[in-house]
């Protein structure tokens, strides 16, 4: 019996997960709970390639996990070439998105799966350094040539080109699940074990994170508004909006969130600001699901403010 108990304890200790270690390389992170993978969250900029090289030198990687609104096209094209050279696979997990320049990284994967959203549009000229119209036209042609050469050499499905070049850079074309599968953008590899590992990492991070606290100086629950919300209460039509207008605490939270979004938007590139506005619309839909539950609405505001670094 004692030997059985010792064996059971040994098995329990063997199966208990060790504390994961996270190493960061700019917008990249490596979690020891998923040693073969590198996770990229953020915008692609001129330092992204440097950070990618540093991570590659420290770890034996086979998978790049993507969650990015895009960024600068020239670093993205160079990074896409390196992804293919090193034989990495690419994965966009559920609730993540890979848009604009990030899409070049995704299609560079030797194996690919977008469980989240994959979006494309025409590139912008923000990376062009020469000012004259003639030179911008030359650089545009050079960029198109480079894109076609890179993607063709990687065997990128033709639908990627079509959707990218037909979608204005002021919009975004989001591939549907059926199109991803039928057109070969997803290679048919399910990445089930990787998705399960990412879910465990996310849960562990949420468990370790302290509960968000409401901003200081809010009125007590049920108090009338001292300052109005960030919208005109005369136009309030939904039960949620009317409750926000009637509850001083919720009105103050709404105003704080509106000001935070406006401030962040002024600091962002036009593309990132547009993504933030889209995210706000998605968040509002989730907030409105609270109906007239003041506790639920307050929790939604507090969590969103924390996400935006308030």
Beta bridge partners of 99: 119
Residue 9 pLDDT grade (very low, low, confident, very high; cuts 50, 70, 90): very low
In the predicted structure, residue 13 carries a pLDDT above the cut 50: no
Residue 40 pLDDT grade (very low, low, confident, very high; cuts 50, 70, 90): very high
Contacts of 244 (CB under 8 A, 6+ apart): 229, 236, 250, 251, 254, 297
The gap from C-alpha 125 to its chain's centroid, in whole angstroms, comes to 23
d(CA 151, CA 146): 9
pTM of model > 0.85: no
Q: Phi/psi zone of residue 309: left (φ > 0), alpha (ψ -120 to 50 degrees), beta?
A: left
Selection from 66, 112, 54, 108 nearest residue 86 by Cα: 108
On whether the CB atoms of residues 185 and 107 are closer than 8 A, the answer is yes
Selection from 115, 97, 108 nearest residue 173 by Cα: 97
**What average pLDDT score do residues 116-144 get?**
68
Report the alpha-carbon angle 25-29-32, nearest 5. 120
């Amino acid at each position: 019996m004692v030997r059985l108990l010792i064996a059971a304890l040994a098995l329990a200790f063997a199966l208990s997960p060790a504390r994961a270690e996270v190493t960061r390389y700019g917008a990249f992170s490596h979690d020891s709970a998923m040693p073969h993978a590198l996770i990229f969250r953020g915008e692609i900029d001129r330092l992204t390639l440097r950070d990618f090289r540093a991570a590659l030198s420290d770890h034996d990687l086979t998978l790049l996990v993507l969650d990015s609104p895009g960024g600068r096209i020239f670093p993205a094209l160079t990074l896409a070439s390196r992804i293919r050279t090193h034989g990495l696979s690419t994965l966009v997990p559920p609730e993540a998105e890979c848009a604009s320049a990030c899409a070049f990284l995704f299609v560079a994967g030797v194996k690919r799966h977008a469980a989240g959203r994959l979006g494309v549009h025409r590139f912008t000229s923000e990376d062009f350094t020469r000012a004259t119209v003639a030179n911008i036209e030359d650089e545009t042609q050079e960029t198109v040539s480079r894109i076609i050469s890179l993607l063709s050499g990687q065997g990128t499905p033709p639908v990627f080109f079509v959707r990218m070049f037909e979608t204005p850079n002021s919009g975004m074309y989001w591939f549907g699940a059926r199109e991803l599968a039928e057109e070969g953008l997803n290679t048919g590899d399910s990445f089930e074990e990787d998705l399960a590992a990412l879910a465990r990492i996310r849960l562990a991070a949420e468990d370790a994170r302290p509960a968000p606290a409401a901003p200081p100086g809010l009125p007590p629950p049920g108090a009338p508004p001292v300052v109005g919300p960030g919208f005109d209460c005369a136009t309030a039509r939904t039960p949620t909006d009317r409750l926000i207008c009637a509850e001083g605490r919720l009105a103050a939270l709404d105003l704080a969130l509106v000001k935070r979004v406006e401030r962040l938007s002024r600091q962002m590139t036009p593309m990132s600001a547009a993504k933030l506005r889209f995210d706000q619309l998605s968040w509002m839909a989730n907030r409105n699901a609270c109906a007239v539950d003041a506790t639920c609405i307050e929790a939604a505001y507090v969590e969103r403010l924390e996400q935006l670094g308030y």
